[in-house]
């Protein structure tokens, strides 16, 4: 019934003449998160889904049947994204494809004069993070990154309080991503399913035989297509941590971990601990990211309210206390610790605190629904042509995603990286070589100038 309401509302606008301010959207990638995109765009005033694109013809049929059952106008359908871009009436594309396609599809869309909402992570390499921003600037397009925490009111208020000095100087952030994930098994090579355009799915990646673990969701755990858990769920926490800490790019990165417990096809680590050091406003700041897949504790209350047992969120540490943001919860929590005492020390223990006394105060933040409208924020910016109003403008997204790539490079090389945040280069030649990759023609990410 909810799906029917979404599409019927969309049909009401499609039935009449197109208003001058109607935004015509093409949805690219229709499984999983792509289904969320369809729901997010449907039912909005002066927004019309006019095209669908996926490499799986059976999935295209399923989605178009949903439009038909709802009485909505059937959108145009494509299997090749490049053909879709030839339609000049399309204003914006909404990209929910595998990670290794995000940058190239965004650049192609910008070159075709389309605005873009692109899912996280927006790039598959450091080079791609730079090129996706360059394309948005070169072609003057509105590009929103799918780190939707940036639009959630409680996150925005919490970061605002950090900026106002709630914790004093914030010197450290911890991003945790503890999710119950089992193994993926070992999948044999098999024929490509009927109706799947596998060459288009592989795109810029090396051509390898088809297996189910190189397709659908499990591509996340293969280096050719995904970035592991740090680039899947972890990018949300990394982005929030960097945002709250008020930093951009690090000067040093160290990451270690392993693929534990499961003898399967997963290539990326399921346990990863990455430590980043930043120099910001004359301060040394630290960001720690940690992911675990199985049997774990909650931390600082993160995960207490999640019935699935996941613990996902952020902890910020300052000279006056710490603040907790829980991905699943509806608010933030802060504990204020030591404050300066105006009088002289009365005991030896007070003297050891150098004039500080302990005040254990617990403050609760918002208890409102998570709310926020990341998709609506994108639409507003498309209409005004003002990228400054985007909550996750592509440069912010690409910067956070660079943290993903640096951690994965450090992990794969097994050593610490010294990084120059001004030139965005690494002193380690092997690490620098991993900033880009070989592309399979014609799916080559260009250097945008």
The answer on 161 and 119 residing in a single domain is no
Residue 221 confidence (pLDDT) = 98
Q: Is position 251 within any domain?
A: yes
Closest CA to 289 of 437, 191, 174: 174
The answer on 136 and 88 residing in a single domain is yes
The answer on 158 and 29 residing in a single domain is no
pLDDT-derived band at 10, boundaries 50, 70, 90: very low
Q: Is position 297 within any domain?
A: yes
CA dihedral 386, 388, 391, 396 (to 10 degrees): 130
Weakest mean pLDDT among 58-67, 347-356, 399-408: 347-356
The answer on 82 and 40 residing in a single domain is yes
Q: Is position 265 within any domain?
A: yes
Residue scoring higher pLDDT (7 or 201)? 201
State the DSSP code for 201: H
pLDDT-derived band at 13, boundaries 50, 70, 90: very low
For the chain, report the end-to-end CA distance as a whole number of angstroms: 48
Q: What is the mean pLDDT of the chain?
A: 89
Q: Is position 207 within any domain?
A: no
Helices (H), 289-329: none
- Structural domain for 303, as ranges: 150-181+227-370+401-430
Which residue reads 């450090």 in tokens? 410
Q: Would you say 72 and 95 are in contact if contact means Cβ atoms under 8 Å apart?
A: no
Closest CA to 392 of 200, 260, 240, 234: 240
Cα distance between residue 67 and residue 273, in whole Å: 44
The answer on 176 and 114 residing in a single domain is no
The answer on 380 and 361 residing in a single domain is no
Share of the chain above pLDDT 70, in %: 87
Q: Tens digits of per-residue pLDDT, 166-212? A: 899 999 999 999 999 999 999 999 999 999 999 999 999 999 999 99
Rg (CA), the chain: 23
Which CATH number do you get for residue 39? Answer: 3.40.50.720
Q: Tens digits of per-residue pLDDT, 247-260? A: 999 999 999 999 99
Q: What per-residue string of b and e applies to 314-338 under the rule 16 or more CB within 10 Å gives b?
A: bbbbbebbbbbbbbbbbbbbbbbbb
The answer on 335 and 286 residing in a single domain is yes
The answer on 300 and 244 residing in a single domain is yes
Closest CA to 183 of 266, 257, 273: 266
Task: Copy the structure tokens of residue 177.
Answer: 């991503």
Cα distance between residue 406 and residue 147, in whole Å: 19
Task: Copy the structure tokens of residue 229.
Answer: 């858990």
- Among 334, 359, 389, give the residue marking a domain's end: 389
Q: Tens digits of per-residue pLDDT, 379-420? A: 999 999 999 999 999 999 999 999 999 999 999 999 999 999
Q: Is position 421 within any domain?
A: yes
Cα distance between residue 104 and residue 446, in whole Å: 8
The answer on 161 and 91 residing in a single domain is no
The SS3 assignment for 76 reads strand
The answer on 407 and 380 residing in a single domain is no
The answer on 306 and 273 residing in a single domain is yes
Q: Would you say 224 and 190 are in contact if contact means Cβ atoms under 8 Å apart?
A: no
The SS3 assignment for 326 reads strand
Cα distance between residue 315 and residue 60, in whole Å: 42
Which CATH number do you get for residue 254? Answer: 3.30.360.10
Give CA angle at 6 (4, 10), nearest 5°.
110
Q: How many residues does the chain have?
A: 449
Number of domains comprising the chain? 2
Cα distance between residue 213 and residue 359, in whole Å: 52
The answer on 410 and 362 residing in a single domain is yes
Look at residue 239 and tell me whether its pLDDT is greater than 70. yes
Cα distance between residue 30 and residue 81, in whole Å: 13
Cα distance between residue 399 and residue 392, in whole Å: 11
């Amino acid at each position: 019934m909810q799906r029917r309401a979404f599409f019927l509302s969309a049909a009401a606008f499609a039935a009449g003449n197109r208003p001058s301010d109607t935004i015509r959207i093409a949805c690219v990638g229709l499984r999983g998160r792509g289904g969320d995109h369809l729901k997010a765009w449907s039912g909005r005033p002066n927004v019309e889904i006019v095209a669908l694109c996926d490499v799986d013809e059976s999935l295209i049929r399923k989605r178009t049947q949903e439009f038909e059952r709802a009485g909505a106008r059937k959108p145009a359908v494509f299997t090749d994204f490049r053909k879709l871009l030839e339609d000049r009436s399309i204003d914006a594309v909404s990209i929910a494809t595998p990670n290794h396609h995000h940058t190239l599809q965004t650049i192609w869309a910008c070159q075709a004069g389309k605005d873009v909402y692109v899912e996280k992570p927006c790039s598959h390499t450091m080079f791609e993070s730079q090129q996706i921003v360059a394309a948005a600037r070169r072609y003057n397009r509105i590009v929103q990154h799918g780190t939707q925490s940036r639009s959630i009111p409680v996150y925005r208020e919490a970061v605002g309080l950090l900026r106002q000095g709630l914790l004093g100087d914030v010197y450290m952030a911890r991003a945790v991503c503890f999710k119950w994930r089992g193994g993926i098994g070992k999948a044999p090579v098999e024929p490509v399913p009927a109706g799947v355009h596998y060459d288009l799915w592989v795109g810029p990646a090396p051509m390898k035989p088809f297996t189910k673990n190189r397709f659908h969701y499990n591509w996340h755990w293969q280096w050719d297509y995904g970035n592991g858990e740090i680039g899947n769920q972890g990018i949300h926490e990394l982005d929030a941590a960097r945002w709250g800490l008020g930093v951009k790019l690090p000067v040093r990165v160290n990451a270690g971990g392993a693929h534990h417990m499961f003898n399967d096809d997963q290539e990326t680590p399921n346990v990863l601990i990455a430590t980043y050091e930043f120099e910001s406003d004359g301060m040394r700041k630290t960001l720690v990211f940690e992911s675990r897949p199985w049997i774990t504790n909650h931390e600082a209350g993160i995960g207490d309210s999640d019935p699935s047992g996941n613990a996902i969120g952020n902890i910020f540490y300052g000279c006056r206390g710490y603040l907790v943001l829980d991905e699943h919860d509806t608010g933030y929590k802060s504990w204020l610790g030591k404050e300066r005492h105006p009088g002289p020390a009365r005991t030896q223990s007070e003297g050891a605190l150098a004039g500080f006394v302990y005040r254990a105060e617990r403050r609760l933040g918002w208890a409102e629904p998570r709310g926020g409208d990341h998709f609506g924020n994108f639409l507003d910016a498309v209409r005004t042509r003002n990228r400054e109003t985007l909550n996750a403008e592509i440069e912010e997204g690409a910067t956070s995603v660079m943290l993903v790539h640096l951690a994965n490079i450090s992990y794969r090389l097994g050593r610490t990286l010294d990084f120059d945040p001004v030139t965005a280069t690494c002193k380690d030649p092997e690490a620098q070589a991993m900033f880009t990759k070989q592309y399979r023609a014609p799916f080559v990410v260009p250097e945008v100038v």
